[in-house]
């Protein structure tokens, strides 16, 4: 009897164990699924995935709170990731079929995501919403259009989170000290003028026999486009199927870019032009010219010298060109609540308070044209010529060359191998002739892939 | 699994066979009793099976399935976003014509120069720290700090140190009148620079393992050697070195596998792969292809090749180790 009791007890224990084991295993599966169900059936949940610093977090949290207050029973789940992990995380979410309802997408990836059926055509939803599309920058809206063939026109697939004009800044104090008139904000330097001023500003200020003040020190990846395009050259033809770097105009611009360092010695020294080392020199007041994006304003507000914005020097085409980027807010094709998701995107793109927060933090220019113009009309605070940012967005800005191509590999090839040219070990002409076929091959591959994914 | 189950059941049978209560003559009552006890064991077995099931499912779900999927993906033009089209061996054909594949593979192997350097230094340090000098604990901690620090933070720190203008490395060199290069932007210095950092980072770990191995060597060997008049180098060569060989083997294997997978340092210190791809490692290139250029299929093909490489190298190492293995009673 006693034995049987013990056996019975053991059996009960075993059963309990079995139960526990089943619970354990099943809870694993439940755990995997529970994130999807949202408890209350009439409560809607929208997920928003983004990357950004404290300022963006603050601005968007407030905007989202307001959004939630105005939409009863709607909850927005915020997913914030590190900037350098964002694209990997997004890819994983997409291949896992778990796309957030609203998320950041680089303007260059729009066509790709549309072709693969991941993001939603929001043209109608935006029209239906109580919102005037014209209150945003036209550039910032059009860059999210795509008609199935060409990016930049057709149906609307996103709204700008920001527009990022890459203006040229100069050290005002340095010009004053050198007795050189400050650059005209309405008339761009020609290359000759730019070179002349550059040479005058490159000096040994403390007389120890070593140059300690330079004119510039540009990073090719973000600045060469200005030089090339303002000289009538381009990376890519209009149709996006031919790499056009093997032209005399392009060679002239790249050579000029390289000569600034290697022939005229107006930059710190050649091996540094590929890094952002020159950033620190600019901050120290050792450089006369340096690119300025809206996101730089908060850091540059603490500079020991006064800076201002000017148009980029222009080559033979006679007109300044500047790079302008944009990050977009897009809506998932698979979203359960397309209206709400689109509305959230509108909120994040165009909510006045959120835009004001970001403007106060000096990390971006407002998406709302009126607000931006009012801000730019203040010519007292530094930089005085804020209008230059707006001019780039409205007038002379161009998107990054890979904006309409399937991927950026063809252009990365160009940057990867450019070092000998910026170091003066190879002529521009030689390099361009050699690199064009390689870029063309990668572009052809990309275009083929784009066709396959349609 | 099935054979394992049989064995268990066999065990149950033979155990009840030994049971003296069950008489040899009376066959009938034997059966229910036998069933009863085997039911208990079966039950227990089932529970055990469930416990085993959890990690097995985990392994299937998170290791085998992705692995199989990735193998399949390497035969497709998958872009990571949408449908996959089967394209046979196209990725592999392209792969073997891709100059960057060879370049990044070469870079990756080049980085492994750091392994013998690191292990040599670690062994020297371990021997030094084993002398029982003052401050041993302090130095042990100092050398181990990089190991427990975040690799990303360390990479950022070293990228600053290598900065051509303001970097610590060049500032120190300047004291000695040497004009240092811009380490990470120069095709010939970027790899040594990264190796130096990797050695520094891994030193503490190897050192600690060596230290443990050295301390577990029986003193009697050294005493015997002393009696025979061996000098300290001979003692090192004939006692210490063979005795720590298993640790060396372990470190070489883990370092080579880790070396093939070097990524974070590269991605943070040279975000564009360095000038002319001189710093890009194979895993970095895989990642670039898969996530940046939307060529997940191609990336999968490359990682499959990488897997085969690591597998072959490890098999060779195990073979070599078995050949040189010996035991000391």
pLDDT of A58 over the 70 cut:
yes
Chains A, B: CB pairs < 8 Å: 107
Contact A95 B85 (CB under 8 A): no
pLDDT given at position B324: 61
Least confident of A128-137, A268-277, B19-28: B19-28
Query: What pLDDT band is residue B266 in, cutting at 50, 70 and 90?
Result: very high
- Summarize pLDDT for A233-264 with one digit per residue, the tens: 999 998 889 999 999 999 999 999 999 988 99
pLDDT of B93 over the 60 cut:
yes
Kindly give the interhelix angle for B190-215 and B114-129, rounded to the nearest 10 degrees.
40
Q: Which residue has the higher pLDDT, A119 or A351?
A: A119
Question: Which segments of A285-399 are extended strands (E)?
Answer: 289-292, 307-310, 322-331, 397-398
Is there a common fold for A44-164+326-376 and A167-292+405-452?
Answer: yes
pLDDT of B195 over the 80 cut:
yes
Chain B residues in contact with A454 (beta carbon < 8 A): none
Whole-number Å distance between alpha carbons of B214 and B244: 7
Closest Cα to residue B119, out of B238, B216, B205? B205
Contact B50 A409 (CB under 8 A): no
Domain ranges of chain A: 44-164+326-376, 167-292+405-452
- Summarize pLDDT for B159-172 with one digit per residue, the tens: 989 987 778 898 89
Span A177-200, mean pLDDT?
A: 94
Pairing relation of β-strands A167-171 and A289-292?
A: antiparallel
pLDDT given at position A130: 83
pLDDT given at position B325: 58
Whole-number Å distance between alpha carbons of B251 and B112: 13
Distances (CA, A) of B211 to A91, B114, B204, B205: 44, 20, 10, 10
Chain A residues in contact with B297 (beta carbon < 8 A): none
Give the helix/strand (H/E) hosting A32.
Answer: helix A2-34
pLDDT given at position B323: 66
Whole-number Å distance between alpha carbons of A231 and A320: 9
Whole-number Å distance between alpha carbons of A359 and A16: 61
Contact A112 B182 (CB under 8 A): no
Chain B residues in contact with A452 (beta carbon < 8 A): 77, 85
Helices (H), chain B: 2-18, 30-59, 65-73, 90-95, 99-111, 114-129, 136-148, 151-161, 168-175, 190-215, 219-227, 232-235, 241-243, 245-260, 264-269, 282-287, 296-324
Whole-number Å distance between alpha carbons of B82 and B73: 12
CATH number for region A167-292+405-452: 3.40.190.10
Chain A residues in contact with B81 (beta carbon < 8 A): 91, 94-95, 112-113, 116, 118, 453
What is the rounded average pLDDT for all residues in chain A?
Answer: 86
Distance from CA of A221 to the nearest CA of B (A): 11
Q: Note the CATH architecture for domain A44-164+326-376.
A: 3-Layer(aba) Sandwich (3.40)
Span A43-68, mean pLDDT?
A: 86
CA nearest A118 in B: which residue?
B81
Q: Within a 10 A sphere around the Cβ of B12, how many other Cβ atoms?
A: 18
Chain A residues in contact with B163 (beta carbon < 8 A): 275, 277
ipTM rounded to 2 decimals: 0.76
pLDDT given at position A13: 47
CA nearest B269 in A: which residue?
A275
Residue of A95, A103, A214, A276 best to disrupt the B interface, most CBs of B under 10 A: A95
Q: How far is CA B110 from the centre of its chain?
A: 17
Q: Which of B44, B275, B296 minimises the CB distance to A419?
A: B275
Distance from CA of A41 to the nearest CA of B (A): 30
Contact B43 A14 (CB under 8 A): yes
Contact A91 B80 (CB under 8 A): yes
Task: State the DSSP code for A214.
Answer: B
Least confident of A14-23, A27-36, A89-98, A185-194: A27-36
Least confident of A201-205, A271-275, A441-445, B34-38: A271-275
Closest Cα to residue A56, out of A398, A394, A329, A400? A329
Collapsing DSSP to helix, strand or coil, A80 comes out as strand
Q: Which of A17, A271, A452 minimises the CB distance to B47?
A: A17
Q: Which of B54, B184, B291 minimises the CB distance to A88?
A: B291
């Amino acid at each position: 009897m006693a034995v049987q009791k013990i056996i019975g007890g053991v059996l009960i224990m075993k059963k309990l164990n079995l139960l526990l084991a089943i619970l354990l295993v099943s809870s694993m599966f439940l755990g995997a699924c529970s994130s999807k169900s949202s408890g209350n059936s009439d409560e809607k949940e929208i997920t928003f995935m983004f990357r950004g610093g404290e300022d963006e977090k603050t601005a968007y949290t407030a905007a989202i709170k307001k959004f939630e207050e105005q939409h009863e029973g709607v909850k927005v789940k915020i997913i914030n990731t590190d900037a350098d992990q964002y694209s990997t995380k997004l890819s994983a979410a997409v291949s896992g079929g778990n796309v957030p309802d609203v998320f950041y997408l680089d303007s260059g990836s729009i066509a790709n995501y549309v072709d693969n059926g991941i993001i939603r055509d929001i043209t109608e939803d935006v029209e239906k919403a109580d919102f005037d599309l014209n209150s945003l920058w036209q550039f910032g809206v059009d860059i999210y259009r795509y008609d199935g063939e060409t990016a930049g026109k057709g149906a609307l697939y996103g709204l700008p989170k920001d527009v990022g004009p890459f203006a040229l800044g100069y050290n005002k104090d340095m010009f004053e000290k050198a007795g050189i008139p400050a650059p005209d904000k309405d008339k761009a330097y020609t290359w000759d003028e730019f070179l002349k001023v550059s040479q005058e500003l490159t000096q040994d200020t403390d007389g120890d026999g070593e140059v300690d003040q330079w004119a510039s020190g540009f990073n090719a990846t973000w600045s060469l486009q200005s030089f090339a395009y303002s000289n009538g050259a381009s990376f890519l033809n209009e149709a996006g199927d031919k790499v056009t770097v093997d032209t005399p105009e392009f060679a002239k611009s790249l050579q000029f870019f390289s000569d600034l360092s290697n022939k005229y010695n107006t930059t710190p020294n050649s091996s540094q032009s590929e890094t952002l080392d020159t950033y620190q020199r600019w901050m120290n007041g050792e450089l006369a010219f340096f690119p300025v994006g809206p996101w730089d304003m908060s850091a540059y507000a603490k500079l020991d010298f006064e800076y201002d914005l000017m148009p980029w020097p222009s080559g033979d085409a006679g007109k300044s060109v500047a790079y302008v980027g944009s990050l977009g807010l897009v809506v998932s094709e698979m979203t359960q609540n397309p209206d709400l998701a689109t509305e959230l995107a509108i909120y994040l793109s165009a909510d006045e308070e959120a835009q004001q927060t970001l403007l106060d933090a000096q990390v971006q220019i407002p998406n709302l044209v009126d607000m931006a113009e009012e801000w730019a009309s203040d010519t007292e605070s530094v930089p005085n010529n804020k209008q230059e940012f707006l001019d780039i967005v409205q007038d002379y800005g161009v998107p990054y060359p890979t904006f309409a191509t399937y991927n950026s590999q063809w252009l990365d090839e160009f940057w990867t191998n450019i070092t000998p040219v910026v170091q003066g070990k190879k002529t521009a002409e030689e390099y361009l002739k050699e690199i064009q076929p390689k870029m063309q091959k990668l572009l052809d591959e990309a275009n083929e892939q784009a066709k396959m994914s349609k | 699994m099935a054979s394992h189950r049989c064995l268990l059941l066999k065990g149950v049978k033979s155990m009840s066979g030994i049971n003296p209560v069950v008489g040899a003559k009376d066959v009938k009552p034997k059966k229910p009793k036998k069933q009863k006890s085997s039911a208990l064991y079966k039950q227990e077995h089932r529970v055990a099976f469930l416990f085993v099931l959890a990690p097995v499912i985990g392994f299937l779900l998170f290791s085998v399935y992705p692995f199989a999927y990735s193998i399949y993906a390497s035969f497709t033009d998958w872009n990571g976003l949408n449908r996959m089209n089967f394209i046979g061996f196209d990725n592999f054909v392209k792969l073997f014509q891709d100059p960057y594949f060879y370049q990044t593979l070469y870079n990756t192997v080049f980085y492994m120069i750091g392994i013998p350097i690191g292990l040599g230094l670690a062994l020297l340090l371990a021997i030094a720290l084993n002398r029982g000098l003052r401050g041993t604990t302090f130095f042990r901690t100092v050398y181990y700090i990089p190991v427990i620090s975040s690799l990303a933070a360390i990479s950022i720190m070293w990228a600053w140190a290598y900065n051509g203008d303001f970097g610590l490395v060049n500032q120190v060199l300047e004291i000695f009148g040497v004009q240092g290069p811009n380490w990470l932007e120069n095709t010939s210095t970027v790899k040594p620079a990264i190796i130096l950092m990797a050695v520094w980072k891994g030193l503490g770990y190897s050192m600690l393992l060596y230290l443990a191995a050295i301390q577990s060597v029986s003193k009697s060997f050294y005493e015997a050697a002393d009696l025979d008049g061996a000098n300290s180098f001979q003692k090192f060569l004939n006692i210490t070195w063979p005795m720590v060989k298993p640790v060396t083997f372990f470190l070489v294997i883990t370092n080579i596998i880790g070396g093939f997978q070097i990524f974070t340092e590269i991605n943070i210190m040279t975000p564009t792969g360095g000038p002319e791809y001189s710093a890009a490692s194979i895993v970095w290139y895989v990642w670039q292809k898969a996530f940046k250029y939307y060529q997940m299929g191609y990336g999968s093909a490359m990682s499959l090749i990488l897997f085969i490489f690591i597998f072959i190298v490890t098999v060779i190492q195990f073979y070599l180790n078995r050949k040189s293995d010996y035991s000391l009673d």
